[in-house]
Amino acid sequence: MQFSSFQEFIQMGGYAFNVWSVYGMFAVFLAVNLLGPLRRNKQIIRELKRRYELNAPAQSGASSANSSAESVGDSQ
Amino acid sequence: MRPHRRKRLGIILFIATGLSVAIGLTLYALSQNIDLFYTPTQVAQGEVAAGQRIRIGGMVREGSVVSADDSLAVEFVATDYVHDVPIFHEGILPDLFREGQGIVVEGSLDTAGVFQASRVLAKHDENYMSPEVKAALDAAGASSESHQMQPGT
Amino acid sequence: MDWTWFHKWGSPKWFYELSGKWLPWLVGSMVLCLTVGIVWALLFVPQDYQQGLTNRIFYVHVPVASISLAFFPLMAIAGTVFLVWRMKLADVVVKVAAPLGAWFTALALASGSIWGVDTWGTWWIWDGRLTSLLLQFFLLLGVVSLRTALEDSEGAARACALLSIVGCINVVVIKYSVDWWNTLHQPSTDFSIAADQANGPEIWVPLVFMILAVYLFFAISLILSTRNEILQREKRSQWVMELVKRS
């Protein structure tokens, strides 16, 4: 352990601003790029659900969805 | 791999190689100007005219730092251990400025051959260690610090 | 040679299902490495003989900056696979990697700046390393905006793939800038196994944890965004409909 007190830890030997702003930016960077896609995933599933429900009566039945095999992977 | 795919891969490789060669040649042509600083040897060889705004990189010669008592003025010698350049600076120095430290100074040579620096930057080397390890290495006479700044190519 | 494994990899459905199984393990390992790395770096690494406690910034800056160099090679490989084999999943990777790479590069530049302001005495200088990394940031923004600027999605995909391949040249420049030219930025460190030498284990062991953590984070974030993009592109396929209904 390099520090004898919590205060000393916060002060970072006079480099408090530099060290804590970099670690703060790192935390924001991690949060944005993990929580962002997770929230987007929920949003997409909600949107698709609504979309399928709107289209469902017109298509008369769930089995009418086509192209499941064709749209997958390599086209040739 | 099917023939039309092999052909496609060939075209991509051709474009990528062509662009790489073009960019490589451009960079090679520019490389003389990309260097951030001149070394004291280049200055001694007369590559720099007085009054021209340039940067010089070197080590602060041990025992050469003279600071004024009543102002922020400081004089020292920048060296690459082949040639020396006397430096004069008035202003703030970075935290890492000390004797034996690699530095980069910005400014111009005056007619007396003294470099009037408007800015002094510290060049940190690539070695990280605790003060204890540093002291032990110094005691063993194996300090890597003198290899810190190689003269430019 | 049997290429079925390769084509299986190109199946979005297959990737979606498999990555769903990997994610908990990846997240678990990342949290572990990140906790060990940050606690070690902040609390236990000895202060530097010159820099004092600013050396804490090293443990964020170095992993983020070194991994930011992986983006163009990754996008170039994926772009080549897309151009040659027309594999849609490869284009998805090119698309989602670009903005993430811009984040990585921006953090590398910003953390380096804050590190430099007291140690070098300046927060910015146009030296070879800093300038070429800034160029990478703009190239990545270029890939992102090329995608949105071109209406034709097939044409945009091809243009982005080609720009990714060309952008790799800049990675070589960034990597060797500190050796080719005089720069203010220090060269790469040679780490030492001996405890009584400079750059010994007390310096690099916590760095290894941080590099692993940031690599895992890179993989996790890329997989999450890839899955989102797959859902949107495959929204008309049966398996996505079933997946949405089940959730």
| pLDDT of C109 strictly over 80 | yes
Lowest mean pLDDT among A30-34, B62-66, B136-140, C81-85: B136-140
Average pLDDT over residues C115-135: 88
In this structure, are residues C81 and C90 in contact, taking their beta carbons and an 8 Å threshold? yes
Q: What is the pLDDT of residue A59?
A: 53
Average pLDDT over residues B39-48: 87
The mean pLDDT value of chain B amounts to: 81
Q: What is the pLDDT of residue B29?
A: 63
Mutate to test the interface with B, among C2, C50, C81 (most CBs of B within 10 A): C50
B84-90 vs B115-123, strand pairing mode: parallel
The number of folded domains in chain C is: 1
Residue for token digits 């510290």?
B122
Is position C63 within any domain? yes
| pLDDT of A49 strictly over 60 | yes
Q: Which helix (H) or strand (E) holds B102?
A: strand B102-109
Distance from CA of C27 to the nearest CA of B (A): 31
**Domain residue ranges of chain B, discontinuous segments joined by +:** 1-34, 40-147
Spatial separation of the C-alpha atoms in residues B5 and B25, rounded to whole Å:
30
Please give the residue of chain C at the shortest CA–CA distance from A52: C241
C47 touches B: beta carbon within 8 Å: yes
Residue B28 binned pLDDT confidence (cut-offs 50, 70, 90): low
Is position C221 within any domain? yes
DSSP state of B150: P
User: What is the CATH number assigned to the segment(s) B40-147?
Assistant: 2.40.50.140
Q: Write the CB contacts of B83 (distance below 8 Å, at least 6 apart in sequence).
A: B40, B41, B43, B44
Which domain, by its residues, includes A28? Answer: 17-57
Spatial separation of the C-alpha atoms in residues C126 and B110, rounded to whole Å:
25
Is position A70 within any domain? no
Residue A57 binned pLDDT confidence (cut-offs 50, 70, 90): low
Q: Which residues of A touch C232 (CB under 8 A)?
A: 44
Distance from CA of C185 to the nearest CA of B (A): 7
DSSP state of B61: P
User: What are the CA-CA distances from residue B48 to residues B41, B52, B56, B84, C180 (Å)?
Assistant: 11, 7, 10, 14, 21
- pLDDT per residue as tens digits for the range C65-80: 999 999 999 999 999 9
Residue A58 binned pLDDT confidence (cut-offs 50, 70, 90): low
Spatial separation of the C-alpha atoms in residues C112 and B108, rounded to whole Å:
28
| pLDDT of B147 strictly over 60 | no
Nearest 5°: the CA angle C213, C217, C219 is 120
Say if the Cβ atoms of B124 and C121 lie within 8 Å: no
Is position C79 within any domain? yes
Q: Which residues of B touch C125 (CB under 8 A)?
A: 36, 121
Is position C15 within any domain? no
Separation of CA A37 from chain center: 2
Lowest mean pLDDT among B72-76, B139-143, C17-21, C87-91: B139-143
* E strands, chain B, in order: 54-60, 66-67, 73-79, 84-90, 102-109, 115-123
- pLDDT per residue as tens digits for the range C169-186: 889 989 988 888 888 898
Please give the residue of chain A at the shortest CA–CA distance from C225: A37
In this structure, are residues C48 and C55 in contact, taking their beta carbons and an 8 Å threshold? yes
Spatial separation of the C-alpha atoms in residues C170 and C157, rounded to whole Å:
21
The residue among A74 and A23 whose pLDDT is bigger is: A23
Q: What is the pLDDT of residue B146?
A: 45
Chain C partners (3+ C-beta pairs within 8 A): A, B
Is position C49 within any domain? yes
Say if the Cβ atoms of C198 and B20 lie within 8 Å: no
Is position C11 within any domain? no
Mutate to test the interface with C, among B36, B41, B104, B119 (most CBs of C within 10 A): B36
Q: What is the pLDDT of residue C95?
A: 94
Say if the Cβ atoms of A73 and C11 lie within 8 Å: yes
Q: What is the pLDDT of residue C71?
A: 97
Average pLDDT over residues B96-125: 89
**For chain A, how many residues are written?**
76
Q: What is the pLDDT of residue A61?
A: 47
| pLDDT of A37 strictly over 90 | yes
Which domain, by its residues, includes C29? Answer: 23-246
Distance from CA of C8 to the nearest CA of A (A): 8
Among B133, B44, B132, B134, which Cα is nearest to B98's? B134
**Gyration radius of chain A over CA positions:** 25
Of B39, B121, B134, the CB nearest to C120: B121
Chain A partners (3+ C-beta pairs within 8 A): C
Among C35, C13, C36, C32, which Cα is nearest to C24's? C32
Is position A41 within any domain? yes
Is position A10 within any domain? no
DSSP state of B38: B
Locate A22 and state its tokens.
């970099």
Q: Which residues of C touch A62 (CB under 8 A)?
A: 241
Is position A68 within any domain? no
Q: Which residues of C touch B104 (CB under 8 A)?
A: 184
| pLDDT of C102 strictly over 60 | yes
Among A2, B124, B134, which Cα is nearest to C196's? B134
Average pLDDT over residues A64-76: 42
Spatial separation of the C-alpha atoms in residues C75 and C157, rounded to whole Å:
11
B73-79 vs B84-90, strand pairing mode: antiparallel
Say if the Cβ atoms of C184 and B104 lie within 8 Å: yes
The number of folded domains in chain A is: 1
Which residues 95-124 in chain C show a CB within 8 A of chain A?
Answer: 100, 103, 107, 110-111, 114-115, 117-118
In this structure, are residues C167 and C72 in contact, taking their beta carbons and an 8 Å threshold? yes
C127 touches B: beta carbon within 8 Å: yes
Q: Which residues of B touch C165 (CB under 8 A)?
A: 12, 16
3-state secondary structure of B27: helix
Spatial separation of the C-alpha atoms in residues A73 and C12, rounded to whole Å:
6
In this structure, are residues C41 and C206 in contact, taking their beta carbons and an 8 Å threshold? yes
Q: Write the CB contacts of B70 (distance below 8 Å, at least 6 apart in sequence).
A: none
Residue B53: what residue type?
A: R
Say if the Cβ atoms of C217 and A33 lie within 8 Å: yes
| pLDDT of C11 strictly over 80 | yes
Q: What is the pLDDT of residue A1?
A: 79
Spatial separation of the C-alpha atoms in residues B16 and B30, rounded to whole Å:
21
In this structure, are residues C141 and C105 in contact, taking their beta carbons and an 8 Å threshold? no
Is position C155 within any domain? yes
Spatial separation of the C-alpha atoms in residues C93 and C153, rounded to whole Å:
15
Say if the Cβ atoms of C84 and B137 lie within 8 Å: no
- pLDDT per residue as tens digits for the range C206-216: 999 999 999 99
In this structure, are residues B143 and B101 in contact, taking their beta carbons and an 8 Å threshold? no
3-state secondary structure of B138: helix
Is position C5 within any domain? no
Q: What is the pLDDT of residue B70?
A: 85
Of C49, C119, C165, the CB nearest to B16: C165
- Which pTM does this prediction carry? 0.84
Q: Is the ipTM of this complex over 0.85?
A: yes
- C148: buried, middle or exposed (CB in 10 Å: 19+, 13-18, 0-12)? exposed
C240 touches A: beta carbon within 8 Å: yes
The residue among B44 and B4 whose pLDDT is bigger is: B44
